[in-house]
Structure 1
Amino acid sequence: MRWISEKYCTRGLLIMSQETSEWLNTQTLIGMTDQRGTAWHYRAEDQGSEPNHYPGYVPAADVRRRLFGWRAEAVAPHYPVPFDAVPETPADPEQPGYRLVQVPGSPFPMMADLTRKIVYRCDTGRPLGVFSSKYPVMQYTDMLLDGLAALITPDGLAVSDDSLGIGSAGLLKGGATAWVQIERPDTVKTREGVDFRSSILASASMDGSLPLTYSAVNQVVVCDNTHAWALREAERSGRMWKLRRRSVLSQLQLRDAREALDMIVEAEQSFAADIAKLCDLTVSRPQFGRLLDDFAPLPDADSGKAARTRAQAKRDQIELLWTSDERVTPWAGTGFGWLQAVNTWQHHVRPVRGDRGGRNTAYAITGKRADADALTLERMFAVLTPA
Structure 2
Amino acid sequence: MSRETSEWLNTQTLIGMTEQRGKAWHYRAEDQGSEPNHYPGYIPVGDVRRRLFGWRAEAVAPHYPVPFGTTPETPADPANPGYRLVEVPGSPLPMIADLSRRIVYRSDTGRPLGVFSSKYPVMQYGEMLLDGLAALVTPDGLAVSDDSLGIGSAGLLKGGAVAWVQIERPETVATPEGVDFRTSILASASMDGSLPLSYSAVNQVVVCDNTHAWALDEAERSGRVWKLRRRSALSQLAFKDAREALQMVVQAEDGFAADIAKLCDLSVNTTQFRQLLDDFAPLPEEEASKSARTRVQNKRDQLELLWTSDERVKPWTGTGFGWLQTVNTWQHHIRPAQGNRAGRNTTNAVTGKTADADALTLERMFQVLTPAR
Give TM-score scaled by structure 1 length.
Answer: 0.89
The 8 Å contact of residues 61 and 154 in structure 1, kept in 2 or not, is answered as yes
Residue 76 of structure 2 is matched in structure 1 by 90
SS in 1 for 2:356: helix
Report the alpha carbon displacement of residue 360 of structure 1 after superposing the two structures with TM: 0.9
Q: Distance in 2 between matches of 1:139 and 1:160?
A: 27
Paired letter, 1:67: L
Q: Which residue of 2 aligns with 1:274?
A: 259
Which of 178, 181, 193 matches 2:178?
193
Secondary structure of 1:135's match? coil
In 2, the alpha carbon distance for the partners of 1:89 and 1:368 equals: 49
1:71 is displaced (CA, Å) by 0.2
User: Alpha-carbon deviation of 1:84?
Assistant: 2.8
* Structure 1 counterpart of 2:200: 215
- SS of structure 2 residue aligned to 1:150: coil
In the alignment, which residue of structure 2 is the partner of 1:249? 226
- Rounded to whole Å, the distance in 1 between the matches of 2:81 and 2:118 is 8
Name the structure 2 match of 1:292.
277
Q: Are the counterparts in 1 of residues 84 and 98 from structure 2 also a CA contact under 8 Å?
A: yes
Paired with 1:188 and 1:310, the residues of 2 have a C-alpha distance of 38
SS at structure 1 position matched to 2:182: strand
- The 1:353–1:333 alpha-carbon spacing in structure 2 relative to 1, beyond 3 Å, is same
The residue type equivalent to 1:254 in the other structure is F
User: Which residue matches 1:120?
Assistant: 105
The match for 2:325 among 322, 337, 340 is 340
Q: Distance in 2 between matches of 1:62 and 1:165?
A: 13
Contact 1:246 1:367 survives alignment (8 Å): no
| Deviation larger for 190-199 or 41-50 | 41-50
Evaluate the alpha carbon distance shift between residue 85 and residue 332 of structure 1 in structure 2; reply closer, same or farther with a 3 A threshold: farther
Structure 2 counterpart of 1:214, one-letter code: Y
Deviation at 1:300, TM superposition (A): 1.7
Question: Gapped runs of 5+ residues in structure 1?
Answer: 1-15, 233-240
Highest relative contact order (Cα 8 Å, sep 6+), 1 or 2?
2
Q: Show the counterpart of 1:371.
A: 356
- Distance, in Å, in 2 between the alignment partners of 1:327 and 1:27 is 29
- Match 1:72 to one of 44, 50, 57: 57
Measure the CA separation in 2 of the matches of 1:125 and 1:159. 38
Deviation at 1:86, TM superposition (A): 7.0
- State whether residues 136 and 143 of structure 2, in contact with CA within 8 Å, keep that contact through their aligned partners in structure 1: no
Distance across 2 between alignment mates of 1:332 and 1:286: 13
Cα distance between partner residues in 2 of 1:106 and 1:206: 29
Asked whether the equivalents of residues 80 and 110 of structure 1 are also in contact (C-alpha less than 8 Å), the reply is yes
* Structure 1 equivalent of residue 118 of structure 2: 133
Answer whether contact 2:137 2:143 (CA < 8 A) is retained: no
| Percent of aligned positions that are identical | 79
Q: Which residue of the partner structure matches residue 340 of structure 2?
A: 355
Q: 1:253 to 1:121 in 2, by over 3 A?
A: closer
- In 2, Cα distance between the equivalents of 1:192 and 1:81? 68
C-alpha RMSD of the superposition: 2.2
* Structure 2 equivalent of residue 165 of structure 1: 150
Q: 1:37 aligns with which of 22, 36, 41?
A: 22
TM value normalised by structure 2: 0.92
Residue 205 of structure 1 is aligned with which of 170, 180, 190? 190
Separation in 2 of the partners of 1:295 and 1:86? Answer: 63
Separation in structure 2 between the aligned mates of residue 159 and residue 192 of structure 1, nearest angstrom: 33
Q: Hey, what's the Cα distance between the residues in 2 that align with 1:329 and 1:355?
A: 27
Secondary structure of 2:287's match? Answer: helix
Question: Once structures 1 and 2 are overlaid, which stretch shifts more, 29-38 or 245-254?
Answer: 245-254
State the alpha-carbon separation in 1 of the partners of residues 279 and 294 from structure 2. Answer: 17
Worse-matched range after superposition: 75-84 or 30-39: 75-84
Structure 1 distance, partners of 2:59, 2:334, is 40
Are 1:258 and 2:253 counterparts?
no
- C-alpha separation between the residues in 1 aligned to 2:276 and 2:331? 16
One-letter identity of the residue aligned with 1:280: D
Paired with 1:129 and 1:108, the residues of 2 have a C-alpha distance of 26
Three-state SS of the structure 2 residue aligned to 1:29 is strand
Q: Which moved more, 1:25-34 or 1:106-115?
A: 106-115
Distance 1:38 1:17, change over 3 A: closer
Change (3 A) 1:278 1:220: same
Q: Which residue of 2 aligns with 1:61?
A: 46
* Residues 56 and 156 in structure 1, CA contact (< 8 A), matched pair in contact too: no
Secondary structure at the aligned position of 2:102 is classed as strand
Alpha-carbon contact 1:198-1:264 (below 8 Å) kept: yes
Name the CA distance, whole Å, in 1 between partners of 2:87 and 2:180.
62
Q: Distance in 1 between matches of 2:242 and 2:15?
A: 21
Counterpart in the other structure of 1:146: 131
